[in-house]
Amino acid sequence: MGRPRPNAELRRVEHRAWRIALVASVLAVCALGSIWSARPAVAEPTEFEVKAALVYNFAKFVDWPAAAFASPSAPLVVGIVGDDDVAEALEATLRNKILDGHPVQVRRVKGSDEARVCQLLYVATSERKHAGDLLQGLRGANVLTVSDIADFARHGGQINFVLENQRVRFVINPANADSAGLHISAKLLALARTVGERR
């Protein structure tokens, strides 16, 4: 006999626990200090710091093919194209991080040729007019693309941020991730709004 399927109540509890865990992880990444302070209040992370922390968490729930890395300990390269507040926050958030045995390396890149050597690429809002050409140049590359540009996931990207009721949310296009040879965890997909149809 197969393993019994969890009932609806258990699934709701597990889902809620997962959401709490992700939020806690984001806040931990965004924290401005790791030592307890006697000050009465600690500044909350900015919208851009939250987005940068989410990019870090996205990478935890994406599987790249082995061929995307030169070796099991090779760096996970996060490329940044263009400039905006999220791009600046990313450099600080990802400094000295390690993901699944890969030290995280942040690089400023120009164009799709340089971006193809990255595992994750953040496309800044300054590149709105060039995003389509950039994504076209990344076809066939195992690169997770993330942006703050509106409808980025509908037009060739994989993840884009949206603000809903003053809260940071994100949209994922699983079909575009599949095309790049990437597997996005169902746990992450459950927290996102999805667009596009999987092939």
Tell whether 34 is covered by a domain. Answer: yes
Query: Can you give the CATH number for the domain in which 72 is found?
Result: 3.40.50
Domain holding 78, by residue range, is: 8-194
Tell whether 103 is covered by a domain. Answer: yes
Q: What is the pLDDT of residues 76-131, one digit of tens each?
A: 999 999 999 999 999 999 989 999 999 999 999 999 999 999 999 999 999 999 99
Query: How many distinct structural domains can be found in the chain?
Result: 1
Tell whether 52 is covered by a domain. Answer: yes
Tell whether 1 is covered by a domain. Answer: no
Tell whether 3 is covered by a domain. Answer: no
Rounded to the nearest angstrom, the gap between the alpha carbon of residue 172 and the centroid of all alpha carbons in its chain is: 10
What average pLDDT does range 132-143 have in this prediction?
96
Question: Mean pLDDT in the chain?
Answer: 83
What average pLDDT does range 4-10 have in this prediction?
45
CA-to-CA distance for 1 and 97, rounded, in angstroms?
Answer: 44
pTM comes to 0.78
Tell whether 91 is covered by a domain. Answer: yes
CA-to-CA distance for 123 and 150, rounded, in angstroms?
Answer: 11
Tell whether 2 is covered by a domain. Answer: no
- CA dist 22 → 69, 83, 100, 108, 134 (Å): 26, 27, 17, 27, 30
pLDDT band at 42 (very low <50, low <70, confident <90, very high): low
Beta carbons of 142 and 67 less than 8 angstroms apart: yes
Tell whether 199 is covered by a domain. Answer: no
